[in-house]
Structure 1
Amino acid sequence: MQDLNIGTKAGLAVISDKWYALILLNLTDSQRDFMQLRRAVRGISTFNLLIKLNELVDLKLVVSAVDYQYQLSLDGQYLQQMLLNLSAWGDRQLTRTLPVKPHS
């Protein structure tokens, strides 16, 4: 293989976006109010959060309901699980590579 396929590139583009990842990790398969999500995802403006949510809806990873309620779609739940697995893998790598300090 000399290059990644288009599907892999598309998936990496989504999971490498900090805000997409944080939004996906803070939603569930139950509806969540926009303001609850706004408080959970720190550091993003309200306007940018709305933009990112609309993009995730367009990607069919998030479902939007009336009154600014959001939840993960089945694909969003699948991607969320992949993000959780990636996070766990990264944590394991960090603990393997950190030097162990001898006790004094």
Structure 2
Amino acid sequence: MLKRRTYTCGLDAALDVMGGKWKALILWELIDGPQRFGQLRRQVAGISERVLILQLRELEACGLVHRELYHQVPPKVEYSLTDLGQSLIKAMIPLGEWGEQHMELIESLDRGD
């Protein structure tokens, strides 16, 4: 969960909420509507179940994702974007488009990771 802090600019605040690789990818998968946990697990390549659970909890705590529990047998849980999450996605779309346009170049860079 995010700790209360003062930000130096809007980008600082946005990056803190999105924090790291997984949160942005989870949010991206929720663009088209609610998803069940298993769907997200399959669509976010490389994420472990444990990390997905933790990241979803943090996104929910930040108010970006809504968790809907359906009381049925077997239990069903769906995750969706809140209004705040939708507004963040609108800001992420141009960044995703930039990445698509430059993906080959970025992949070809030897960054020494």
Instruction: Give the TM-score normalised by structure 1.
Output: 0.75
1:16 Cα offset (Å): 5.0
Segments of structure 1 that go 5 or more residues without pairing to the other structure are: 99-104
CA distance in 1, matches of 2:57, 2:100: 30
Q: Pairwise mapping of residues 4-23 of structure 1 onto structure 2 (< 5 A)?
A: 5=8, 7-15=10-18, 17-23=20-26
The answer to whether the aligner puts 1:73 opposite 2:76 as a matched pair is no
Quote the sequence identity (%).
Answer: 38
Distance 2:19 2:58 in 1: 15
Q: Name the amino acid aligned to 2:78.
A: Q
Is this contact kept in 2: 1:29–1:72, CA < 8 A?
A: no
* SS of match in other structure, 1:68: strand
Partner Cα distance (2:99, 2:45) in 1 = 22
Rg larger for: 1
Extract structure 1 runs of 4+ deviating beyond 6 A. none
Q: Distance in 2 between matches of 1:90 and 1:39?
A: 22
- Provide the C-alpha distance between the structure 2 equivalents of 1:28 and 1:9, rounded to a whole number of angstroms: 23
